[in-house]
Chains A and B, each alone.
Chain A
Amino acid sequence: MEKVRILGIDLGSREVKIVFFENGRIVRKNKISTMRFYRDYCIKDNGLIIDKEKLDIGEFDVGISTGYGRNNINIKDFTPINEVKAHIYGALFQTGLNDFILLDLGGQDVKVVRVEKGVMTDIELNDKCAASCGRYLENMANILEVDLDYMTRFYKEPVHLNSTCAVFSESELIGKIAEGVPIENLCAGVNYSLYKRLSPMLTRFKSNRIVLSGGASLNSALIEYLKNDYNEVIILEDAQFNGAIGCCYYGERMGLK
């Protein structure tokens, strides 16, 4: 049987994720910071060309790209697909399910999607503000001088942070630090404030089952909060690579060569 090698690239705002598919299976994956990707691995020549040698990705038959800034950057020899679709296809591939709510928390955006019979039937995207995204968590972890991984563990007894704005939340958090609130409650407060900002987006998406992708899947506090709203919270095994996997899945199903 002819071997079809598909390369999926998800150009995220923080990291570029690369997945290599061979005959419908993931054989390799790789992550590079977005800055380094554009600086070190791309050649500008009437558009963007990926320096395959430097990237050490080997030969491939089909390239599919998606992600933040997809509309601005067309990589030569790659078929661009819509990022929401890429994430849905990634989740279809990884879960084998056809009906679910998908929550994808990116560095600078949030998507909530309803998938029924394998097709998107409803969608909500954040706009204007990054206060409900990964970047918000990073900023808050910096202020608390803890690792992001550490911060996202705490969910019990959150200190209340009421600001709707990410910048105001920082000063509110500093105020709580000054009051002597224990670090666990501060961390939980940050996580809970993220959940509270996501909640209005999720009200239209009541369901029994939610699939988490992107940064949402790494946030154990958020997962705990969501367990109160959904009977089944599914965490994608390769959540960070979901968009890139979706690209490969698309190329595979379309039978691109």
Chain B
Amino acid sequence: MKRIGITTTVPQEVLIAAGYKVIDLNNIFVTSNNYMEYIDIAEKDGFPKSMCAWIKGLYGVCIKEGIDEVVGVVEGDCSNTRALVEVLKLKGIKIYPFAYPNSHKLEDVKKSLDDFMDMFNVKKSDVEDVRNRLNKVREFLIEVDNLTVDGYATGFENHLYLVSSSDFNGDYLEFENMLKEKIKKIKDRNKKDYPIRLAYIGVPPMMGDIYDFVESIGAKIVYNEVQREFSFPRFKNNKDIYEQYYDYTYPYDIEFRLQEIKRQIKEREIDGVIHYTQAFCYRGIEDIIVKSKLDVPVINIEGDKLNELDARTKLRLEAFVDMLKDRRGWRR
């Protein structure tokens, strides 16, 4: 089976219909024990020190793992990705561009998807068939998400399974079976409630230990914003692939993203928000908007290359959670 790398969530239904095994390069990078090696490859080839670790990691994965075809998101993601795909092209990797139109108009999303389908020579009906099949897997992801809110699945499990839906680990059938098994085990557990309920918003973290850490101090992440978006939890409201990729918040404007975030904060009774940003990323600037538009306390955590929480960040999170607990206890 032909492999194709992706730099972020793209309409994988099209790629699967075209007979590809989809590989989210981010997942290979961040789950590797030698993740620093990927960054190292990029820096040796000239990527600046002051540059997002994800971009360098994606580059390193492509080179080291011999990926020869990549879908690059050239609109709706960052300009670093644009430059990344240009360098990949220079290295002889075949690039397929995909755009989430800035206009965020359904007709423009439709055009973008039609171009994408043409590029891979697939029919809309075939894509819809794949979409309908994948939506069955997405149902299980909604279940994992609900189990997290209800106190059964952990924050990390929520993160892991939802983030994996960008490529379903390259095999949606196997992924589906694995999910069924996991859900069974999760349901068998005793329910565990935490005094504080947190939201995690922003790109997925470099440091996966953040989930267990906050649980160790009496708080639980019950909402992973972008990871959940990867799983397309509102697919039932979308009549076709066009609507599905239109009704996706992450690559569009911050206001649209915030509408969904606000809804979830209310529904999930969130006490505080962790806004994760990556060092050198433009989304760090959006923290200004996030903080001014959300009513609940927001703590901004910035990650760079390290894949575990540093002592200072732990201290900050501890203090934040401690004061949120006080607020829960306020009687006057």
Contacts and interface: CB of A to CB of B under 8 A. Distances in A.
B326 interface: yes
Interface residues of B, number: 21
A119 B274 CA distance: 13
Given A123-B316, A250-B326, A117 B298 contact: yes
A252 interface: yes
Nearest to B330: A253
A253 B315 contact: no
A252 B329 CA distance: 11
Contacts of B195: none
B320 A253 contact: no
Contacts of A24: 332
B11 interface: no
Contact of B320 (A120, A250, A254, A255): A120
Nearest to B321: A119
Interface in B284-332: 291, 295-300, 315-316, 319-320, 322-324, 326-327, 329-332
Contacts of B326: 85, 250, 253-254
B297 A116 contact: yes
A86 to B, nearest CB: 11
B46 to A, nearest CB: 30
A122 interface: yes
A253 B297 contact: no
B72 interface: no
Nearest to A89: B326
A254 B330 contact: yes
B204 interface: no
Interface string A228-257: 000000000000000000000010111100
B272 interface: yes
Contacts of B295: 117
A122 B316 contact: yes
Nearest to B294: A117
Contacts of B323: 85, 88, 118-120
A82 interface: yes
A123 B319 contact: yes
Given A116-B297, A116-B298, A254-B326, A121 B332 contact: no
22 contacts: A82-B322, A84-B319, A85-B319, A85-B322, A88-B323, A116-B291, A117-B295, A117-B296, A118-B327, A119-B299, A120-B316, A120-B320, A121-B297, A121-B300, A121-B316, A123-B319, A250-B326, A253-B331, A254-B326, A254-B329, A254-B331, A255-B330
Interface of A: 24, 82, 84-85, 88, 116-123, 250, 252-255
Given A88-B323, A121-B320, A254-B329, 18 more contacts: A82-B319, A82-B322, A85-B319, A85-B323, A116-B291, A117-B295, A118-B297, A118-B323, A119-B299, A120-B319, A120-B323, A121-B316, A123-B319, A252-B332, A253-B330, A253-B332, A255-B331, A255-B332
